Amino acid sequence: MSTAAAYQVSFSVGSTALRGASSRSACKAAALAPVASLCPLQAESNRLVARSTQLSSSFVSSKEDLRAEFRLQQSAQRRHFSNRVGVKTALTMAASSAYDFSVKDIDGNETDLSKFKGKVSLIVNVASACGLTKQNYQELTTVYDKLKEKDFEVLAFPCNQFGGQEPGSAEEIKKFAGDKYKATYPLFSKVDVNGAKAEPLFQYLKKEAGGGDIAWNFGKFLVDKDGKVVKRFDPRTNPSAIEQEIEKIL
């Protein structure tokens, strides 16, 4: 083969090879084009997944924070309740007289019961919507009006613990007792008489008189001029039946 012919063959082979390489590069580029176009979408997808994970983690963290805060509040409430119960128990244990206590009157004013020292008192838990209401209120007024000039007092404490029969506001209770039954003796703010939240005065009265919890509306405690508990009467004992007991210690 002549030199010219050999050169021609070599050139042809080289051209073919170049065309083949160029064709393969074009094919490869064409094949990679969709992948390249997906890269921004993949990046956005990855970003959204990361953000979702972050938000989920934040939500879990917030949820745990809320649970922790709730547990702290519960603990604080239990401590507060325990402290209040402890204070009430301490007051009850330290008292030597019903007149050692301070309570709130029906208008919410703090009242020191020592102001009644030197008087005989009948302390009663009252209610406005009980089957015992009419007779007890009527007789409390009658006995009080008869003996008040002899240093006798009725100390009436509304209580809603028995059948929810004292649901009214302080103003409603005051109006009910005053308008309907002409009660002019002292009325006090609504209290509990049984349980952990019982008014310390009633804790003391029950401790001194014995007999456990008060059974119903219109339980009665007769205390002498020094505030010592003389006798306890159950709700079925009407005030008129106690009148002689009262007069004995006036």
Structural fold of domain 98-248: Glutaredoxin (3.40.30)
What is the Cα 163 distance to its own chain's centre?
Answer: 21
pLDDT tens per residue, range 114-155: 999 999 999 999 999 999 999 999 999 999 999 999 999 999
Domain residue limits, the chain: 98-248
CB 98 within 8 A of CB 223: yes
Higher pLDDT, 45 or 207: 207
- Predicted pLDDT at 45: 62
Instruction: Determine if the pTM surpasses 0.75.
Output: no
Name the burial class of residue 189, with classes exposed (0-12), middle (13-18) and buried (19+) by CB atoms within 10 angstroms of its CB: middle
**39 part of the active site:** no
- Sheet with 229-233, strands from edge to edge, namely 152-158, 120-126, 220-223, 229-233
Report the C-alpha gap between 143 and 136 in whole angstroms.
10
pLDDT tens per residue, range 156-213: 999 999 999 999 999 999 999 999 999 999 999 999 999 999 999 999 999 999 989 9
Where residue 23 falls among pLDDT bands split at 50, 70, 90? very low
Report the C-alpha gap between 80 and 49 in whole angstroms.
46
Six-digit token pair at 29?
């580029």
